[in-house]
Amino acid sequence: MIITKKREHNDLMENIKNCNSLFLLGCSECATLCGTGGEPELRAMKEMLEAEGKRVTGTFVSKTGCQVLGTKVELKQFKDALAETDCILVMSCGAGTQTAVELFQDKPVYPANDSLFLGNMTRIQMFDERCSLCGKCILDKTGGICPVTACPKGLLNGPCGGTNNGKCEVSADIECAWVRIYNRLKRLDQLEDMKRIAEPKDWSAHKKPMSLNAREKKEEVEK
């Protein structure tokens, strides 16, 4: 899931200083789990904006904010509220914000959140980054632990000389990724994998902007 956090209040208010009226758009998926774009957060945002003298023409938590067509259909019921708003304030991730940019060509769209990383939720509203979307996964070679993400240096043939009692030299709060990988491979009786020298990573597998037509892939498989 995409991990988001609320923008600083002053930054948000500066963004929307020229908007007298706003429509609030949340997302029932990642942003709801992050506590940045579900029903309670939209209610709180509406109250705050109204206290600041703004008018909120409508609020809606879309099912999946990054789903452009689905969001477009869902928003049809808010035609009037959307027509009379000065701008759209999107309480999801940057992808959800850009759904609104695509749907509202003639209105300013502002993000209420900052998007941080792709994360796993380990407990309620606690998140860890475990994958950097590198485009060519090497988890099969590292005991299922990602050194690209878990090692601050992204070392593929670690550990570096700074590892200290299982901790990372960058921060004692971080377990050394390569000690974790070693311990995991040992548990699995796969320590031979530690001896493999990883080739330099092909970063071209993650060229921006990326796109994927999964339908084409499916059609290829069916041929």
What residues make contact with ligand SF4 under the rule CB under 6 A? Answer: 131-134, 137-139, 146, 148-149, 151-153, 155, 158-160, 162-163, 168-170, 176-178
SS3 (DSSP) at 133: coil
Quickly count: other Cβ atoms within 10 Å of residue 49's Cβ: 20
51-57: long-range contacts, CB 8 A cutoff, minimum separation 24: 52/13, 54/16, 54/19, 54/20, 54/21, 54/22, 55/20, 55/21, 55/22, 56/21, 56/22, 56/23, 56/24, 57/21, 57/22, 57/23, 57/81, 57/82, 57/84, 57/85
| Residue position matching structure tokens 């796969």 | 190
Is 20 within 8 Å of 54 (Cβ atoms)? yes
Q: Which lies closer to ligand SF4 via its Cβ, residue 63 or residue 186?
A: 186
Residue 206 CB, nearest approach to ligand SF4 (Å): 8
Closest approach, Cβ 187 to ligand SF4, in A, equals: 18
Nearer residue to ligand SF4 within complex by CB, 40 or 162 = 162
Min CB(91)–ligand SF4 separation in Å: 27
Nearer to ligand SF4, 24 or 168 (CB): 168
Q: Which is nearer to ligand SF4, 161 or 209 (CB)?
A: 161
- Quote the least distance from Cβ 211 to ligand SF4, whole Å: 17
How far CA 37 is from CA of 112, 129, 221, in Å, comes to 9, 20, 38
Q: How far is the CB of 36 from ligand SF4 (least distance, A)?
A: 23
Nearer to ligand SF4, 48 or 160 (CB): 160
